[in-house]
Amino acid sequence: MNPSQPQSGERITIQPAEFLPNGPAAAAILAAGIGSALLGILAVAADASKPVAKLLTFYLPTGPLSGVTSVAILLWLVTWFILARRWRTRTVAIGKINATAILLLALGILLTFPPFADLLQGK
C-alpha cells in the first residue's frame, strides 16, 4: 500500500501552502479610508480658517495645499504602519472594517467637493 494514500476513515485536512490572515489587508484598507477622510477634513479646515491655512502653508508657491496633502499622507502612512503591526498575524472582522473604510472614503470625497464644503461653512 502506498503510504501517502489515506487509510479508510482517515480525515484529510488540506492546509494551504501559506495561510495569510486578513489583518494586513484590513490595515491597508482602513488606513486608506482614514487618509482620504483626513485629506477632506484638512482641506475644509484650511478653507475655513486663515490661521489653519497659514499653518498648513509648507511651501509658499503651492499654498495650504502643500500642508493639507503632506499632513494627510504622513498620517495615512503612520496609521497604516501602526495598524499593520497590530494586525500582522490576526484575522479581523473585515466586514465592519470595510464598511468603516468605505464610509471614510465617501466622507473624504464629499469634503473635497466645494459646494458641500461651502455648505458646511455656511457660505
Partner 1 sequence: MEISLRALITLIHGMLFGAFFVMATYGLVVELYRSVYAEQPLKLTPQGDSRERLYLICMVGLGWAAVLTGAYVSYPWYRAVPPAGVTDLALYPRFLLKSSAVTAGWHDLGMEWKEHVAWIAPIAVTMVAYVLTRYRLSIREHPQVRTAILVFAVVALGAAGVAGFFGAMLNKYAPVNGGPTIHLRGKGQ
Between CA 74 and CA 103 the distance in angstroms is 21
What residue has cell string 472594517? 97
121 makes contact with partner 1 (CB under 8 A): no
Supply the minimum distance, in Å, between the C-beta of residue 55 and partner 1. Answer: 17
For partner 1, the binding residue among 18, 51, 89, 122 (CB under 8 A) is: 18
Answer yes or no whether residue 57 interacts with partner 1 by CB under 8 A: no
DSSP state of 17: S
| Residue among 35, 38, 25 nearest 84 (CA) | 25
Residue 17 has φ and ψ, to the nearest 5°, of: -55, -40
Interface with partner 1 by CB under 8 A: which residues?
Answer: 16, 18-20, 22, 24-26, 28-29, 31-32, 35-36, 39-40, 43, 59, 61-63, 65-66, 68-69, 72-73, 76, 94-95, 98, 101-102, 105, 108-109, 112-115
